[in-house]
Structure 1
Amino acid sequence: MESVTTELSSLLTNQSSSKSCPTVDTTVENTLFGCFYILVFFLALNGNSLALWIFSHQRGSSSPANIFLIHLAVADLSYVIILPLRATYHLTGGHWPFGEVPCRVAGFLFYVNMYASLYFLACVAGDRYLAVVHAVRSLKIRRARYAHIISFSLWALVTVSMAPLLVTHQTAEVDGVTVCLQLYREKASRKALISLAVAFTPPFLATLSCYLLIICSLHRGSRLEPALKLKALRTIGLVMLIYVVCFLPYHMSRATFILGYNHPDVSCKTRRGLSLANRLTSSLTCLNGTLDPLIYLFGAEKFRGTLMRLFCKDSTGMSGATSGDLKGTHESSVSAKSEF
């Protein structure tokens, strides 16, 4: 992750040095991107704010998965707040009117959210694996205290890795307008490939492996009823969908962009396509902020119960909201019913 940040330089030189291939953002593209960010902003802000509100009104000690999901919601909200800036950037024709510091913060929060989300989803997958496959043996290590330590350690790691973005010049004048180099203008350096691999591959493979092992365990037979197994598989599918839709396209596109953009044999049309793909997949990463609340909604019976009490004004009131693991499977088959 560290070299991702160091490769975002004042930049544009390599891309704009291509005499016959100027970077052109069409009005239609900018309008679509701007409207997209506005829509995602409202959906993600409401979804994650509601999730945190429900988390805060659940009583009792939190489970590890619950804690990881809370941090995931915080990561989403930290990025959601800068989406209006990205929307404005597009709706003003690719002009950044906010100055140097907001540009740095926008890039910083973009990467912090993306990689914090990746690692918190991996933590949730690891906790689910322990709870389902090693339910009894994992009791000693599946504790809230350890989940807090892991979560704050991940925040520290991601924040320190992305910190250079806050002290590096990130705006430039191009064709009479100010551009924020953090928005699709990253330097196409091959050294960034190492950062992409280190930042994305470990959490992706960890999540995939944990869920495959869970699926195998459910297939071999478990104490869960068939209907609960189906719910578990749907939750796993939703988490993997977030990876496939939000994160995998961006990292594949970035790798292709880095390898191909400055190659001497690449045509202007191909470079234009690579740049557009980079912009499109970058915008897809923010969709995780709208999809993550679905994990809580469809993967956690207790979360749904609290939500129903909130909107249906159940006679028991909000005080009847149950506490515990929003997304997990408890150590017994009875409590497992409310976790998938």
Structure 2
Amino acid sequence: MKCLVGTLLLVSALPSLCTVAPPPDSECGMSYRLRTFRVTTRCNLTTLKEKQVNEIKAWTTNLVLPIVYLFTFCVGLPTNLLALWILVFRTKRRPLTTLLINLTVIDCLLLLVLPFRIVYLFRGSHWELGEPLCRIVMAMLYGNMYSTVWSLAFVAVDRYVAVVHPFGAKSLRSRRWSLGLTAAVWVVMLAAMLPLLLSQQTYPLDDPKITTCHDALPESVQENYFLPYFATLFTTCFLLPFVIVMFCHSAILRTLLAEGRKYCHTIRVMGLMIMVFIVFLLPCNVLLILTYSDSWPDGEDLYIPYMISLTISTYNSSFNPYVFYDVCRDCRERTRNALCCVPDMEDIPSSQGTHTSSSARQRSKVTLLAMTSYRGRLTQQPEVNMMT
């Protein structure tokens, strides 16, 4: 009888045992973390707390953020394609032009993968496109961020050499110079993408019934793998380029002030680059370190702010064409001509050019004759006065 009673008590206690999260080291307590969310496997079911489910299924995550991504895509893709067309086909190939072409290509690559991110969020953070594509999308998301930062830094270095060291710029700013800086940007981009391309990014959850893409990762992987990875990127691919940009533009401004030249344009370009760093990229990088280090008092509250900052960071790809529009004078003229349907002088056929030049020579001859006769009247005018 006592054994029967004990067995009944054990059976009645089983449901309560399955609802209590076991210690992380036990078989049934394999732990994941959804950014800062604790995801545990309870009796072979991967579940979330009610608050965490509300966060991942919130209208901000599944409605507002994909709409912002969609706006970035609709604005950024046409402007970057226009910028790429002008830079490749309508602008003289200079070192600065090569750097801007490279920056525009990187932005276009990011914008082309944004639709997959939009579908993922609209479907309630549920990924159905396979592990390889998830890795590519997330790798492009972070790779674009840090390669853009270094691209802007190299653009600032190119302008620094051209303005502050104009004599050395003639020999330094060559085709080899621009190709070397472009290759360095791609090395940074591949280095930032490689850890994401080589690690698993999709993890299925049972409650809610979704497959996450980079949102749920094993806790040990986050602390031992991604925390040092993102901390290194923050130092070498955000802080260092930001210091370089500030130094270069400050030196350019001092040089222009010392020579008494106009500096309003330099201040505007400097302000645009600082805006890209501070408004678009800094919040995402800071929150990224906080979420992986788990140093925030209530880490669960960082999920929505981090997702918002990551979405805003992608808008820098739509804002970069306005930066190069201000940086490159030739680009401004070509863009205005393209938007106003005004043909460039270099695009006019040679026959028209010959006719134009001959007409100009005829007009110059007429003007010269008129000026000669006018000067003759002026020299004769005193004599007439004396005679009268």
What is the TM-score with the length of structure 2 in the denominator? 0.71
SS at match of 1:98: coil
State which drifts further: 160-169 or 68-77: 160-169
Instruction: Show the 5 A alignment for 1:96-107.
Output: 96-107=127-138
Instruction: Show the 5 A alignment for 1:182-331.
Output: 188-189=222-223, 190-191=227-228, 192-222=230-260, 224=261, 226=262, 229-260=263-294, 266=297, 270-314=298-342, 316=344, 319=347
Provide the rounded CA distance (Å) in 2 between the counterparts of 1:273 and 1:51. 39
Q: Which residue of 1 aligns with 2:33?
A: 12
State which drifts further: 304-313 or 78-87: 304-313
Provide the rounded CA distance (Å) in 2 between the counterparts of 1:308 and 1:44. 18
Q: Cα distance, 1:219 vs. partner? A: 2.6
1:120-174 CA-to-partner distances (Å, cap 9, x unmatched) read 1100001111111111122211112221122123313431442232232210112
Pair 249,185 (structure 1): closer, same or farther in 2 beyond 3 Å: farther
- Superposed CA RMSD in Å reads 2.6
Amino acid at match of 1:211: H
Q: Which residue of 2 aligns with 1:68?
A: 99
1:257-280 CA-to-partner distances (Å, cap 9, x unmatched) read 23445x6xx3xxx32321112111
Pair 196,301 (structure 1): closer, same or farther in 2 beyond 3 Å: closer
Report the identity percentage. Answer: 24
Pair 210,167 (structure 1): closer, same or farther in 2 beyond 3 Å: same
Tell me which of 87, 110, 126 is aligned to 1:55. 87
SS at match of 1:81: helix
Q: Which residue of 1 aligns with 2:141?
A: 110
Amino acid at match of 2:33: L
Provide the rounded CA distance (Å) in 2 between the counterparts of 1:252 and 1:197. 11
Provide the rounded CA distance (Å) in 2 between the counterparts of 1:45 and 1:231. 27
5+ residue gaps in structure 2? 1-30, 41-47, 349-388
Provide the rounded CA distance (Å) in 2 between the counterparts of 1:184 and 1:284. 23
Provide the rounded CA distance (Å) in 1 between the counterparts of 2:186 and 2:299. 35
Pair 254,78 (structure 1): closer, same or farther in 2 beyond 3 Å: same
Q: Cα distance, 1:206 vs. partner? A: 0.9
Pair 155,16 (structure 1): closer, same or farther in 2 beyond 3 Å: same
1:15-59 CA-to-partner distances (Å, cap 9, x unmatched) read 324775635220243200011101100111011100010012225
Q: Cα distance, 1:96 vs. partner? A: 1.2
Aligned length: 300
Does structure 2 conserve the Cα–Cα contact (< 8 Å) formed by 1:107 and 1:183?
no
5+ residue gaps in structure 1? 1-9, 321-340
Q: Which residue of 2 aligns with 1:337?
A: none
Provide the rounded CA distance (Å) in 2 between the counterparts of 1:36 and 1:184. 25
Q: Which residue of 2 aligns with 1:121?
A: 152
Provide the rounded CA distance (Å) in 1 between the counterparts of 2:216 and 2:255. 43
Q: Cα distance, 1:185 vs. partner? A: 9.6
Provide the rounded CA distance (Å) in 1 between the counterparts of 2:319 and 2:216. 22
Compare CA radii of gyration and give the structure with the larger one. Answer: 2
Q: Which of 1 and 2 has higher RCO (CA within 8 Å, sep 6+)?
A: 1
Q: Which residue of 1 aligns with 2:27?
A: none
